Amino acid sequence: MKKMNKFLTALILIILPIIDINTLAVAQETETAISGTKQVFRFEDYPVSVEQVSVVKKPILSTRLAKQYKTAITTAMEQPVNFAGYYRVVTWGCGTDCRGFAIINKLTGKTYTLPGVEYVAGVMGNDEERLEYKENSRLFVITGSKNDKKEGKFYYLWSKEELKLLATFLLEKQDFSD
């Protein structure tokens, strides 16, 4: 068994430099499930300066989802910055315990959505916020089920024009069985 673990460790060290960050996130999820340890991602570890944007731009709706929620996005343009320095996260309901969202650059009006994610739904036994973000941080956290397909706690880092996945962890759930 020890020889197998050493072999797997050596294999990971050889492969690790050539895998992308999304593959790494899956590896972290697996390690978390096995070891019970969890890397802590904190908003304060990804700081940005907050800019007050007073000019209201017309939103640039560049994705199908953004065009579908044009009214919500246009209304949100008048609201203050709430994410990553000069961005505004706009959310809309899509049913009970379900959220859709877009990210608006308040300086340019460009609107971003997360490719492949229409909505984030709640998961039975987990009552955490579906979306977490702060005006002075680039960290963005999704907790729940993305499009009712993959559930987890997803940590993303905003990188100018996209959310880049840092890690995915299994959700903590309450057990309701007696």
Residue whose structure tokens are 């300066």: 49
Residue whose structure tokens are 């020890």: 2
Q: Which residues pair with 137 in a beta bridge?
A: 47
Q: What is the pLDDT of residue 131?
A: 96
Q: What is the pLDDT of residue 125?
A: 83
Contact predicate 139/159, CB 8 Å: no
Contact predicate 121/97, CB 8 Å: yes
- DSSP string over 2-17: HHHHHHHHHHHHHHGG
Q: What is the pLDDT of residue 37?
A: 54
Q: What is the pLDDT of residue 126?
A: 86
Q: Per residue in 50-63, is it b (16+ CB within 10 Å) or e — as a string?
A: beebeeeeebebee
Q: Per-residue pLDDT tens for 39-52? A: 789 999 999 999 98
Q: What is the pLDDT of residue 5?
A: 47
Q: What is the pLDDT of residue 175?
A: 67
Q: Per-residue pLDDT tens for 114-124? A: 999 999 999 88
Q: Is 5 exposed, middle or buried (0-12, 13-18, 19+ CB in 10 A)?
A: exposed
Nearest to 109 by CA among 95, 88, 128, 127: 88
Q: What is the pLDDT of residue 55?
A: 82
Q: What is the pLDDT of residue 176?
A: 57
Q: What is the pLDDT of residue 26?
A: 37
Low-confidence ranges of the chain (pLDDT < 70): 1-38, 175-178
Give 33's contacts (C-beta < 8 A, 6+ positions apart). Answer: 170
What CA–CA distance (Å, rounded) separates 65 from 63? 5
